[in-house]
Chains A and B, each alone.
Chain A
Amino acid sequence: MATFSTNEFRGGLKVMLDGDPCSIIENEFVKPGKGQAFNRVKLRNLKTGRVIERTFKSGETLEGADVVDTEMQYLYNDGELWHFMVPESFEQYAADTNVVGDAKKWLKEQDVCIVTLYNGVPISVTPPNFVELAIVETDPGIRGDTSGGGGKPATLDTGAVVRVPLFVQTGEVIKVDTRTGEYVSRVK
């Protein structure tokens, strides 16, 4: 794998830090007028999702990480593992609950999501920004209320719970923004 110097660090570059693959978020050049130049770097640990800050001397290097974001179709869950497939090659990958993490509550069979592979093994799953899911349970709302003020919790077919306007009923399909976990609209 290639190595990268601090001057090549930019958002999205994948590097190894303390044995874990990380994605660079931000790289700031800090230098006293008379003194050593540093780079203050913000990185996301791709295994834990945690954001860390680390300072390097300018010119220091990190090893690149063999990390690839791949679009895959979510196939099914066998009770223990989540199974994904690359549509073009039919290549399949399995990921456990730690890897799938919070994404699991948005995953609907056949949806295409991003699976991040590190050395060919899934380390994280990013759901589509918007998903369409059916409501399996919500309190009956007051008829005629179209304002959306207040809202009520609704359980979706993946198990996720989101707040929906009062007029939305069990059985309806809604669009949800997975980045915020918020209701967007009803799907006709």
Chain B
Amino acid sequence: MTEWRPGCPLAPLQKRAALLAAIRHFFAARNVLEVETPLLCRAGVTDPNLHSFTTLLNKPGAAEGDRLYLQTSPEFAMKRLLAAGSGSIYQICKAFRNEESGRWHNPEFTLLEWYRVGFDLARLIDEIDALLGEICRGDLNLAPSERLSYRELFREHAGADPLSPSFEELAVCAEARGLPEARELCGDDRSLWLDLLFSHLVQPRLGRGRITFVYDFPAFLPSLARKKPGDPHVVERVEIFLEGMELGNGFHELADAVEQEERFDRDLAVRRENGLPLPAKDERLLAALRSGLPDCSGVAVGLDRLLMIMMRAGSIDEVLAFPAARA
């Protein structure tokens, strides 16, 4: 019986500790407040592609309990703090996503999430760049970062326009690039087409030796980002890639309660169609948005993956003391 032992040597654990200290130092110097919000939440996430863990809260001695969700991200609770006037905040916490495990996924993982009041997306990207530069220095020799739009990257690496009105162009490009199954797999689901082609053809090329920031995501992909003023087809969203890995996702945050509720309803309709669980909408988030979310941008960064890159690990299990199989 050796399964009581950690699955990784001490070095990744020491690197993790140093990483957390460096992040706290970075935000302390910038007067961003560290906060904690509940891991156990009353409302679940509606995004049809995320699967929550659930549990029951029993009052002492009670036979029946209330359903609670382990958070898939601290986003909703942090926005309630922002609406209540917290100012800029950050959090380092565990997030939980069921049905996600593999080389780059452990069902529970560590997120760094932060919100900057008064920042537009470009300014937030500057800060992400500064943070990653500071904490990776010494471990990674990165070239200056690059910022590229989703559409131009898609054209360059998948060979097609992601917004092309016909799926035929996407199908032809997929087939030419070794994905003949795409046509049957994706049908006429545009989000699926884009997820497949971006994750298989574009993403592996991104962030090689430098951080790649991808911006101007198509508006129909799920997010909590604002529509870009003057261009209704894209949202103010950024994704961070390093060494072919998705490290994080940031938005100029949607502050409109009505649009937020519409997006919840759209998600729930998709869930209903696919026979997925139907969590209640987070009414407390909606109430917070109605009372007023300050103009802000926020981002979440997966720290286990960042550690993987710093340690040159081939699998997330190599940087976790106890990955799910050993938990």
Q: Do A and B come from one complex?
A: yes
B37 at the interface (CB under 8 A from A): no
Q: Does A118 contact B (CB under 8 A)?
A: no
Chain A residues within an 8 Å CB radius of B222: 34-35
User: B196, A34: Cβ atoms under 8 Å?
Assistant: no
A37 at the interface (CB under 8 A from B): yes
Contact with B along A27-45 (1 / 0, CB 8 A): 0111111111110100000
The reply to whether A55 and B99 form a contact with Cβ atoms under 8 Å apart is no
Answer yes or no: B280 CB below 8 A from chain A CBs.
no
Interface: B103 (CB within 8 A) = yes
B185 interface neighbour in A7, A30, A57, Cβ under 8 Å: A57
Task: Give the complex CA separation of A56 and B302 in angstroms.
Answer: 25
* Contact with B196, one of A7, A29, A36, A53 (Cβ below 8 angstroms): A36
Q: Which A residues lie within 8 Å of B179 (CB)? A: 55
Write the chain A residue with the least CB distance to B182. A55
* Chain B residues, Cβ within 8 Å of A32: 195, 198-199, 203, 246
Interface string of A14-36 (1 = CB under 8 A from B): 00000000000000111111111
Summed over the interface, the residue pairs from A and B with CB atoms below 8 Å come to a total of 66
A54 within 8 A of partner (CB): yes
0/1 interface trace, chain B 77-102, chain A, CB 8 Å (1 if under): 00000000000000000000001111
Taken together as a complex, chains A and B put the C-alpha atoms of A57 and B239 apart, in Å, by 22
Q: How far is the CA of A53 from the CA of B181 in the complex (A)?
A: 10
Q: Which of A29, A34, A54, A55 contacts B100 (CB 8 A)?
A: A29
Evaluate contact between B49 and A35: CB separation under 8 angstroms. Answer: yes
A37 to B192, CA, bound (A): 10
* Contact B181 A54, beta carbon cutoff 8 Å: yes
Q: Is A31 within 8 A of B192, CB to CB? A: no
If A31-B105, A37-B49, A53-B178 touch, whether A58 touches B99 (CB-CB below 8 Å) is yes
In the assembled complex, which residues on chain B have CB atoms less than 8 Å from the CB atom of A53? 178
Contacts of A58 in B (CB 8 A): 99
Within the complex, which residue of B47, B200, B248 is in contact with A30, where a contact is CB–CB below 8 Å? B200
Pair A34/B105 contact, Cβ less than 8 Å = no
| Contact A38–B49 (Cβ < 8 Å) | no
Give residues 27-57 of B contacting A (CB, 8 Å): 47, 49
Complex Cα distance, B199 from A173, in Å, reads 54
CB-CB under 8 A for A36 and B246, given A28-B103, A29-B102: no
Out of A28, A33, A55, which one reaches B102, CB within 8 Å? A28
- B182 CB contacts on chain A under 8 angstroms: 55
A residues contacting B by CB (< 8 A) are 7, 28-38, 40, 53-58
User: Mind listing 9 A-B residue pairs with CB under 8 Å?
Assistant: A29-B105, A30-B104, A31-B102, A31-B105, A33-B249, A34-B221, A35-B195, A53-B178, A55-B182
Q: 10 smallest A-B Cβ distances: which pairs?
A: A29-B102, A35-B195, A36-B195, A33-B249, A34-B222, A30-B199, A32-B199, A36-B192, A32-B195, A54-B181
